[in-house]
Structure 1
Amino acid sequence: MAAISICEAPSLSLNDQKLLLERQVARVLRAAAAAHENTPGTELETMNYLAVADSISAIMVIGNAFRRL
Structure 2
Amino acid sequence: MPVVRVSANGTVVGSGYHTGPALDDGFAVFELPSCDATVNWAAWLASACCCDQELRVFHIDPAS
TM-score interval, normalised by the smaller of the two chains: 0.3 to 0.5
Q: Which has the larger radius of gyration?
A: 1
What is the TM-score with the length of structure 2 in the denominator? 0.41
What is the TM-score with the length of structure 1 in the denominator? 0.39
Greater strand proportion = 2
Greater helix proportion = 1
